[in-house]
Structure 1
């Protein structure tokens, strides 16, 4: 495994994007752990649900419908949703105001349970995430996959990124880069590949002082099909 210097990756990305100033303007910066800890459960559940519905569907179509989801599902407040009977869930899943997909609708219930469990053990899901070891972000991905519903693959990481959590993402460009440099060689979502990717990102983070999110974006901008 050969780890390229992050400074070299950065310079290549800057060149492709028209200079360092233009590159920096494109980088989304994660929230601080203190800010993450303040995010209420309903916003986590809304974002998890949004990403579940966007998987395999037009992101725009889902976003256009999302105000109806917010209304139908009580603003995604877990404690209210978990009071619903099975019959209520079935009725909501058939409502024409939302995207009618019973399997995805039921992930809202499972993921609400995950949030409430975290509230019992950590005070809140947000506190659990904010205290998660920075050098084991893929462990948080595994937690979402194990305890949540349809949050495996890139769905969980994309949801975390949207919420401002500092995480890298194995997007197609990042995955391609890691494969080209022999950092991963098996399935993207295998424990071996994730561990190798995690180690590489931790190395670049120590080398550069950058967040995982910024490093991930710089790598994506340094290769693939996103040339200006």
Structure 2
């Protein structure tokens, strides 16, 4: 598919917004559903322990009941020292294996072992940028897929939507390639290959950058409005 075809199939954001508002019962109803990202200044103040906790929660929620993970979360905080990076980096391998069998948490060795790897990623970024949060806060929205790549390559089990969803939860402005958003991007020819290929991600980023310039909205709201404009989510 050529560049010209991709452009010709792309809707103006106003059209997408109007359709989403119609489906959700009007503009006021639609606006009430939208997220607001944190400012870079506020985002940069989040402790590195909270980032590790958030990544760990999303890793465990992948393929599991989110309600079950949340119900066990106090146990996770206790077993893993409140996700204190410095303490966790000192834990020997045999202790990680014992922690993975603790009944206070969800016992899954593979997912537990993402904690030291992601602690190392956060610690490394903090040494360069002052804190992991400072790096995330400074990352430009026009290359948010670059931050996705960083999490996938430097961290453990943070590929797919796990990394992006964690960023969204923590307040970093990002779009999400949810099922509804991916379906829309395919229907308009913006992506036409594997969802996570560099070609598809670059095409999605370019489209979101254009919509952001057109609308003045954050990426997260554009992503949500696209999702609400189609799929099985009428009022």
Work out the number of aligned pairs and report it. Answer: 228
Q: Pick from 39, 50, 73 the counterpart of residue 32 of structure 1.
A: 39
Counterpart position of 1:152? 159
Counterpart position of 2:108? 101
Structural mapping, 1:74-223, within 5 Å: 74-223=81-230
Once the two structures are TM-superposed, the CA of residue 86 in structure 1 deviates from its matched residue by 0.9
Q: Tell me, what secondary structure is at the counterpart of 1:26? A: coil
Q: Tell me, what secondary structure is at the counterpart of 2:91? A: coil
Q: Tell me, what secondary structure is at the counterpart of 2:113? A: helix
Once the two structures are TM-superposed, the CA of residue 97 in structure 1 deviates from its matched residue by 1.3
The runs of 4+ residues in structure 1 deviating greater than 2 Å are none
RMSD of aligned alpha carbons? 0.6
TM-score normalised by L of structure 1: 0.99
Counterpart position of 2:64? 57
Which runs of no fewer than 5 residues in structure 1 stay unpaired? none
Once the two structures are TM-superposed, the CA of residue 181 in structure 1 deviates from its matched residue by 0.2
Distance 2:35 2:87 in 1: 33
Distance 2:208 2:181 in 1: 11
Distance 1:172 1:179 in 2: 11
Distance 1:35 1:97 in 2: 32
Which runs of no fewer than 5 residues in structure 2 stay unpaired? 1-5
